Structure formats: C-alpha cells, structure tokens
Amino acid sequence: MTKPRNTSASSTDSGNKAESENLQSQTEHFDNEALERCSKAWHRFFDLASIDPRDENLNCIEDNERNAFAIEQAANAYRDAMPLLLSYENIRDFIACTAHGMLQHVFDLDECRELLGAAKIAMALLKTQPKPPPPAI
C-alpha cells in the first residue's frame, strides 16, 4: 500500500496536493496475487473507513488522528487477506505479504516477528508431513 509520506519543504503547495491525491488514490499492481489481494484490501477498507481519503491536508496518514480508525480497519483487512499457511506457495506468499506490510507500516516490528515465526513453524510442520504417493498410472 502506498501511503502519503511527508514531503520536503522545497515542494510547492500545489505539488504537495497533487502528490497526496496521487498517492492516496494509487493502488499497487503486483505479479503476486496474494500481494495484490492484500494491497487492494488495505486500500478498499482505508477508503471506506476514512473520513475523507482525498483530503489534501493529509500529508502523513500514519500521524493523523482523524484517520487512525481507517488505518486500523485497513490493517485488519490486510491481515484477513493474507494467505493461510497450508502449502509451500501459501507460506511463500504469506512471507511476501508480511514483508510488504512491514515496509508499508501495516505491521509493527513485533507483529512482523510473530507472523514470520508462524510462517517458520508452518514450514517446519509442512516438511514433516509425508509426501503423497505418486498417482497410479
């Protein structure tokens, strides 16, 4: 998810407004379906729960108390969209979503550690499962 960041003092006001609107309305496109799903869920819920997702005065959403509820709801939607830890592919996608969420400040460091620890345990358990027999020809 792309969230507005503080802009430099040398930017013009109109530049700040355009950048803020562009970042808030922009959705990311990924080659990975799980990342795409998580990102879309974050944006959808943020837009639904936000007081005004296109407010030009929102230079830094993370610090804006008016949108604290929207950020929390969007983060919950992101978590809910993450894949279940049931297969190698899902675990790989779960790790990718966790790493992306950490970079985008969806999760704090402690939650990332817990999520990655869960993925590590799931991978270890998956490796202990017996392999299915080859299909009969």
Q: Which tens digit of pLDDT belongs to each residue from 90-105?
A: 999 999 999 999 999 9
Q: Which pair of structure tokens corresponds to residue 22?
A: 């562009």
Identify whether 1 is part of a domain. Answer: no
Identify whether 11 is part of a domain. Answer: no
Identify whether 112 is part of a domain. Answer: yes
Q: Give tens-digit pLDDT for 8-27.
A: 333 333 333 333 333 344 55
Distance CA 41, CA 50 (A): 14
Number of domains in the chain: 1
Identify whether 117 is part of a domain. Answer: yes
Task: Judge whether 71 and 78 are in contact, CB under 8 Å.
Answer: no
Task: Judge whether 28 and 2 are in contact, CB under 8 Å.
Answer: yes
Nearest CA among 69, 59, 54, 67 for reference residue 24 = 54
Q: Give tens-digit pLDDT for 38-68.
A: 999 999 998 888 876 565 555 454 556 668 8
Q: Which structural domain range is residue 30 located in? A: 23-128
Identify whether 70 is part of a domain. Answer: yes
Q: What is the pTM of this model?
A: 0.68
Identify whether 15 is part of a domain. Answer: no
Identify whether 83 is part of a domain. Answer: yes
